[in-house]
Structure 1
Amino acid sequence: MTTGTTTPEDADNRHLTTQGARFRARIRTGTSAQILRDRVMRKETESLASTFEHLCSDDSLQRAAALIVSSRRRFVMGAGKSSAYASLLSADLAAGLANVYQIDGTSLHAIDVLTDVRANDVLVCFSVRRYRVETVDLARLYSEQGGHVVVVTDSDTSPLVPIGEVVLTVDTGSESYADSPLPIVSVCHLLSTLTIASAKGARRRLLARDTLGTTLHQYLPDEEAPHED
């Protein structure tokens, strides 16, 4: 995440734009698994703490949650690896809200959504480096047609930042060849929690899902613990 003053470490991290480049720079031949483990765990802890500190510095999470709650339809999108984050948020939101749709290119295509954008709809976009063209284009066109856009991204220089009505910036710095997914997953968790907590009818919907899950025999029987989605 690059916000405010950029440290040499931040600049180096942003310079390593591909997984191959990060592997060459960080995964050294002969490094023991224990040393690598400690390095990765330390950096993951720092990145998560940095993300939380940044998100606590303003009300962006609250504004994003309020926008999702007040919208009639909620679309979620992420391409490539980011599709996993979109799927996670969609599943958590759908547990307590109606009209939650993931634009996955299979069951729902971007062109179908763009042909019917309404002023009381919202699109949540996940986009981290290397930024996918289809995500940037969808967010831009959706915004141009009057829809609300919430962006989850990894830098204030991300091409999605000028498009988002609300932007949630996370620190994905890592000692691995892959950028850290933990801050993004945490934002999904925070955003869904704040949204569902303030949504009318969420309690009823969640209790109904519990009952239906039992009726449909979705889970192994467990008398001591509540069922999980």
Structure 2
Amino acid sequence: MTTIDDFDDSEHDRTLVSPGERFGDRFRTNISAEALQARVIEAETRALALTFEELSRSGDVPRAAALLLGARRRYISGRGKAAAYAELLGADLSATLSNVFLVDGRALTPLTVLTDVRASDVLVAFTMRRYREETVRFGELFHKAGGQIVLITDSADAPLTDIATALIHVHTHSASYADSPTAVAAACHLLSTLTTASAKGARRRLTVRDELAADLHLYRPDSDKEDRE
């Protein structure tokens, strides 16, 4: 069975907090592009396999999906690089669920959300090392106001783990200076898929979206169809 210990010196890796520290530790001037590519591919493959293995045993993703399905409102938040993960999950969930809101600090701010939190509200919070203070504080106040938290993070000891109703742990070890996004994106895909599969009205919403996308001319026409005509 694969474990986190299979990664090369994982304890040492966790001490490399910043991208600058990881760059100096992992990159050597004499390494070839081919060798570096092989190392990155191997690390990404192992991180993804380990994440899926653990999630398949834990049942954390189905539990998180059930929370989202039962929620009155679904908020999604992440800052820094994690904002990209929040936007990815938000895009997928909003296609099949109503009341999905991206808390991006601009169109919708934590202050606005916190003034009207209900026990039926759920916050999906993304927090990866170095753990942005804005996300941590928002999660703490959201929980204090009575809402539930689905936490997607890279460590069982990360902030907010003690108050999360559902915890999705992903492995982000990488051979690059940047922590890996592969398992995080995969977890988003898994969560949105399980949630959508049980969402009432998902098929109807997707059908309506397709019709509206055509009316709005959002996408280029199918080139194969044009050729046939």
State the match for 1:195 in structure 2: 195
The TM-score, its normalising length taken from structure 2, stands at: 0.94
Amino acid in structure 2 at the alignment position of 1:208 = V
Amino acid in structure 1 at the alignment position of 2:179 = D
State the match for 1:162 in structure 2: 162
1:10, distance to aligned residue in structure 2 (A): 1.3
Matches within 5 A, 1:12-91: 12-91=12-91
In structure 1, distance between residues paired with 2:46 and 2:161? 23
State the match for 2:122 in structure 1: 122
1:163, distance to aligned residue in structure 2 (A): 2.0
In structure 1, distance between residues paired with 2:174 and 2:4? 19
CA deviations over 1:12-38 (Å, ceiling 9, x no partner): 110111100100000100211000000
State the match for 1:181 in structure 2: 181
Compared CA separation, residues 215 and 30, structure 1 to 2 (3 A): same
Q: What is the root-mean-square deviation of aligned Cα atoms in Å?
A: 1.6
1:115, distance to aligned residue in structure 2 (A): 0.7
Mapped contact 1:153–1:160 kept (Cα < 8 A): no
More helix by share: 2
Amino acid in structure 2 at the alignment position of 1:209 = R
Amino acid in structure 2 at the alignment position of 1:177 = Y
Mapped contact 2:4–2:50 kept (Cα < 8 A): no
Alignment partner of 1:100 is 2:100: yes
Percent identity of paired positions between Structure 1 and Structure 2? 50
Mapped contact 1:120–1:148 kept (Cα < 8 A): yes
CA deviations over 1:102-145 (Å, ceiling 9, x no partner): 00011000010001000111000000000000100011110111
Matches within 5 A, 1:204-215: 204-215=204-215
Mapped contact 2:4–2:10 kept (Cα < 8 A): no
Mapped contact 1:151–1:168 kept (Cα < 8 A): yes
Flag structure 2 segments of 5+ consecutive residues without an equivalent. none
1:57, distance to aligned residue in structure 2 (A): 1.1
1:215, distance to aligned residue in structure 2 (A): 1.0
**Larger CA deviation: 7-16 vs 140-149:** 7-16
In structure 1, distance between residues paired with 2:148 and 2:141? 11
Flag structure 1 segments of 5+ consecutive residues without an equivalent. none
In structure 2, distance between residues paired with 1:169 and 1:125? 12
Compared CA separation, residues 224 and 61, structure 1 to 2 (3 A): farther
SS at 1:187 equivalent: helix
1:5, distance to aligned residue in structure 2 (A): 6.7
The TM-score, its normalising length taken from structure 1, stands at: 0.94
Amino acid in structure 2 at the alignment position of 1:17 = V
SS at 2:167 equivalent: strand
In structure 1, distance between residues paired with 2:206 and 2:59? 27
Amino acid in structure 2 at the alignment position of 1:156 = A
In structure 1, distance between residues paired with 2:195 and 2:37? 35
